[in-house]
Structure 1
Amino acid sequence: MVSFKEYESFLNLPNSVDQLIGDNYFWNLNLLKELESSKSIGGDTGWIIKSICIFDHEELVGFIPMFIKHHSYGEYVFDWSWAEAHQRLGLSYFPKLFIGIPFSPVNANKFIVKNAKYRDLAIEYIEKFMVNENLSSIHYVFSRYDDELNYLFKARGWANRKTIQYVWDNENYSNFDDFLKILRSEKRKKIKQDRKKVALEKVSFKTITGNDINEDLISFFYKCYSMTYYQHGSPPYINKSFFESYFIKNSERVVIFVAYKDQLPVACSFSLQANNILYGRYWGAVQFIPSLHFELSYYQGIQYCINNKFDRFYAGIQGEHKLSRGFNPEFSDSFHFLKHPQFKKAIDDFVEREADLNELYKKELEQRSSIKS
């Protein structure tokens, strides 16, 4: 007999959840626990934890991280226009149900099940949960492009939204110059110019991971991370205590690239590593240096992947400038289920038109690829 149990905290989940998730994804249970413990989610943040565990008799067979949301911050699949349309008709868009990892626009599986047969049951349960909790909608974001779950969502009438993200693939390059050889001449020149600008400023770099991560480094990183957000007019989403705890307890998953000028740190970026893939997350600087952003956010990560024979480097969503730095466009799928029939039809039509436009846009980006054909 299959049953579902809802949990309002990640801190009191069965111990077997951690083992079920494993180490293959950029996220793990520790990440969710530390986000909650640091009060970056939960409480009055607008991220109300409502995850479910699936049991077959008494055996844990599934886990899905879910949140009841009262805003759309930190999701990176932008639906503010959907909320405004609800409001114009006197309907409430919030609260809604969000299935994903907070503040993480990264393609990954969030339906963690021991057997595919539990997926259909889980989707059916979540749709009923939406109705029972009087939520406007369900949003499963940043699915893996090849996940069989995508076909189940489509079969049940969920709207499929496609957005563009940028990835770098390692074609067994022996070094950075080997990678540059496969680029078009003008793109190769652009990267060399970027790196020359940084070199002229006499900036040096250090890669720090594992036990070399310490409190001073974490404090400097958080200063840089916070400045990036404040420069864009908003406070940082994640509290410092998250990084203080997660970076130390999960240091083997954390990679920090630090830039030094006159022997003092001036900027850094943070990535996660798992299953031979590097996931670029945040960057920031306390001093402006031309092209330093490209070096820390892209080139240092590419170099790290080459040195460690990683397969892929995810540089995140948006940013056409990544195209000229050796990254390629790739679709990222999200799935949405609207309760209101009128809005469900409108959203279905919208995402279909948007997907057609993004298909054309992706083809245009591919034609402008920095890689020689």
Structure 2
Amino acid sequence: MPRYRYRAINEGGEIVKGEITALHEADLQAQLRASGLSLIRFSTVRRRALRLASLPTRELINLLFHMQMLLRAGVPLIGALQDLRDGADSLELRQVAASLMDRIQNGSTLADAMAQDPGIFTDVMVHLVRSGEITGQLAEVLGELVRSLKWQAELAAQTKKLLMYPAFVTVTISGVVVFLMVYLVPQLVSFIRNMGQEIPLQTRLLIWLSEAFVGYWWLILPTPVALVVGVALAARANEQLRFKLHQAVLAIPAVGPVIKKIILARLMDSFALMYRTGIPVIEALGYCEKITSNLPVQRALARARERIANGTSISDAFAMENLFPSLVVRMLRVGEATGALDEALANVSYFFTRDIDESIGRVQALIEPVLTVVLGLILGWIMLAVLGPIYDTISKIRA
């Protein structure tokens, strides 16, 4: 399928440039017209494989949901992709659909076509789709992928909700402190020095900090950012350091257990999905290792997978790792005994999801007063250091 570089005009009269894959010139005009664009001129780009770096989760869900619905309605896969290519609102989504359609028409399966865009479709998605194609349950697999992606998007939103408030308050406190040290404190310090009395220790310390901020603000302000970037680069280069940092994240009071539950909930849901679609346990656990970026969890899964490969039961293999709560082990044991391992894993995921909502509420309720107290202590110390000498001077005058 050829690829075109176009120049068009939108409904607002603005010039729009871009590239798009289309069957021919008429198809190019139809796709642009569906986006509210009128073609001015175009040229053919030298043929190359379409490689989008990524696709927003919402668009990916739309793609999979659209294919699932049309496949269930009896529409052939090519027809489903063509309908999406011609009717989708997103230009990126139309490009992906056109690319998949082109590859399938050239003899690829859907899984093989998806595998050529690793930035959009993960290895787990490709493997699940391949399993669905082999078993004739592609529509069901796509439906499970849609459900899983929606659930993971909700988990990501919960994680942001957990971290955004502390980050916002921390930035606010830092801004207040910088303002006090750079603008307000220097004005009060000059007045305190002119009183001619001995300056107490806390006031001298405040003066020293204020002068440091005024004189070296260009060094102090970027230091936290540089430190974070430096640690991130060092962790990327050193796996052992990265392991220690990931371990420290899980050990953060109040926040760490919630992050751990989010990681385990996603793992159990993915494990259940792969087991339900017929992927062997050993292979499914191997993909689960790739899903999480937390090294302690990765290594624990790798050890459990190795034990299972050597004949240990799934529940016993997980029980030997302290990282997995007893709930996970008990449900795995029940799933093995009843032959419904996927349902047991789904129950674990459901329990963690419910617990995550409550835990985030508790953490936020705890963080708010703690950060308020911290801000109060900082402001109280500054006021004490500034007003203390003034109060002493007034007391001596009255005496």
- TM-score, structure 1 length as denominator? 0.26
Higher-helix-fraction structure: 2
TM-score (norm 2): 0.25
Larger radius of gyration: 2
* Structure with higher RCO (Cα < 8 A, 6+ apart): 1
